[in-house]
Amino acid sequence: MTTIRIDRITRTFGTVRAVDDVSLTVDEGKLFTLLGPSGCGKTTLLRMIAGFADVEAGSIWFGDRRIDSLPAHQRNIGMVFQNYAIFPNLTVEGNVAYGLRARKVNPAEIPARVAKALERVRLGGYGPRWPHQLSGGQLQRVAIARVLVIEPAVLLFDEPLSNLDAQLRTQMRVEIRQLQQALGLTAVYVTHDQEEALAISDRIAILRAGKIEQIGSPEEIYQRPQTAFVAEFLGGTNMLPGVAGAFDGQRTEVATCGTSISVPGKVAEAGQKLLLSIRPEALRLAEGSDGPLLQAKLVLREFLGQIQRLHATLPDGTPIRVSALGGHQVGGAAGTALAFAYDPAQIIAYLAP
């Protein structure tokens, strides 16, 4: 197992700093996800780890070995690409064996290693098949087997599931996670899919414009986002503008969207502009609650099976989203008055820019 340490690396393209003075550590045996919107620098960072893009400043270490000046083939990494990169003129067995032959592994060892790699990805017996005979999920398994067979120190994934349909994506991410944990390999995973990142990661780095906004476990980043950008990007939130009011020694009253919301602690001086983050699942339809309430009017109800999404407006017309269990009865047409209860402890206040 290998620890990856990235120390203040930078990469520019023209006048754009794609990766801007980034430092992070990936602990051995852990799956670390680089998450962010398109153009944030996550793929460029992965390519620098792989050796496919030059490091302009800073350094990359695998354990005690500095590797940023080494060519890609000397870094002992395995990379799974978005488009699978399967050779159509080779069988499954030929594709998986390709890396071993390129490394001049003893030919007598290759069949057993290929068979073992295919068994690991649940493709035992598929060796003689051709790529055109396989489904998208099976092709992705071949790509993973081709990486595993060379026994890399580090696994790199560049949006490996983006070409699969939703149900298969969910299945494959579970398989990738279980395989990574079973083998104990250190892995860096790039995705723009927030749910995917939350589901499989030990730790996540949120990137924005080449810089890291926050690093933490999925629970830490989702429940305690350090910036308004992280709160909005990871899982979505209701971001309401407001102005800090009086602090009563326990809570700050914030005037927002034609109403008032209580926020624990002293979050700002009176009169300062704020942004309040309230997750859709932190709101619930009031049922005789004596706690704090938000008054709203129903705009639209989306029934999604296990959950339903309520679209409503606050007194000043600001839209707000609420997630509720699918079995909860929500009656009324558009314009119906609703009251939502909330726990002040689940509201996060940020100073407005």
The reported pLDDT for the residue numbered 327 is 67
Give CA separation, 257 vs 191, 289, 294, 319, 348, in Å. Answer: 34, 22, 10, 10, 16
Residue 232 clears pLDDT 80, i.e. is over it: yes
Same domain, yes or no, for 202 and 287? no
The pLDDT of residue 280 is 93
Can you give the pLDDT at residue 167? 86
Segment 262-304, tens digit of pLDDT: 899 999 999 999 999 999 999 988 876 667 889 999 999 888 8
Residues 218, 197 contacting (CB under 8 angstroms): yes
Q: What's the pLDDT band for 224 if we cut at 50, 70, 90?
A: very high
With a pLDDT cut of 90, the percent of the chain lying above it is: 77
| pLDDT at 326 exceeding the cut of 80 | no
pLDDT mean over 133-159: 93
- Per-residue pLDDT of 100-139, as tens digits, reads 999 999 999 999 999 999 999 999 999 999 999 999 889 9
Q: Is the pLDDT of residue 99 over 80?
A: yes
- Looking at the fold, whether 11 and 50 belong to one and the same domain comes out as yes
End residue of a domain, out of 226, 253, 271: 226
Distance CA 182, CA 166 (A): 25
Residues 108, 142 share a domain: yes
Which of these, 268, 267, 240, lies nearest to 256 by C-alpha position?
240
Which amino acid does the sequence have at 73?
Answer: H
According to DSSP, residue 153 is labeled S
Q: Are residues 207 and 305 in the same domain?
A: no
**Residue 325 is part of which domain span?**
237-351
What is the distance between the alpha carbons of residues 288 and 352, in angstroms, rounded to a whole number? 34
- pLDDT greater at residue 229 or residue 85: 229
Residue 104 counted as domain residue: yes
Q: What total number of domains does the chain contain?
A: 2
- Residue 218 dihedral angles phi and psi, to the nearest 5°: -55, -40
CATH number at residue 269: 2.40.50.140
Question: Residue 154 — very low, low, confident or very high, per pLDDT cuts 50/70/90?
Answer: very high
pLDDT at residue number 290: 64
Q: Are residue 141 and residue 217 in the same domain, yes or no?
A: yes
Q: Are residues 155 and 22 in the same domain?
A: yes
Domain edge (last residue) among 198, 226, 254: 226
Nearest alpha carbon to residue 261 among 337, 343, 350 = 343
Pair 67, 212 in one domain: yes
CA dihedral 128, 133, 138, 144 (to 10 degrees): 50
In a domain, 232, yes or no: no
Q: Which of 224, 232, 237, 161 is nearest to 197 (CA)?
A: 161
Q: Is the pLDDT assigned to residue 1 strictly greater than 80?
A: no
Same domain for 31 and 153, yes or no, is: yes
Q: What gap in Å lies between CA 35 and CA 41, rounded to an integer?
A: 9
Task: Output phi, psi for 311, to 5 deg.
Answer: -105, 125
Residue 254's φ and ψ, nearest 5 degrees, are -120, 125
Mean pLDDT of 325-339: 78
User: 77 and 222 in one domain?
Assistant: yes
Q: Would you say residue 308 lies in a domain?
A: yes
201 plus 257 within the same structural domain? no
pTM for this entry: 0.90
Q: HSE (CB half, 13 Å, CA atoms) of 72?
A: 12
Q: Please write the tens of the pLDDT for every residue from 296-311.
A: 999 998 888 888 889 9
DSSP one-letter string for 243-295: EEEEE-SSEEEEEETTEEEEEES--S-TT-EEEEEE-GGGEEE-SS--S-EEE
242 shares a domain with 219: no
Task: Check whether residue 218 and residue 258 sit in a common domain.
Answer: no
**CATH number of the domain within which 84 lies:** 3.40.50.300
**CA dist., res. 293 & res. 342, Å (int):** 6
The answer to whether residue 231 sits within a structural domain is no
Q: Is residue 269 situated within a structural domain? A: yes
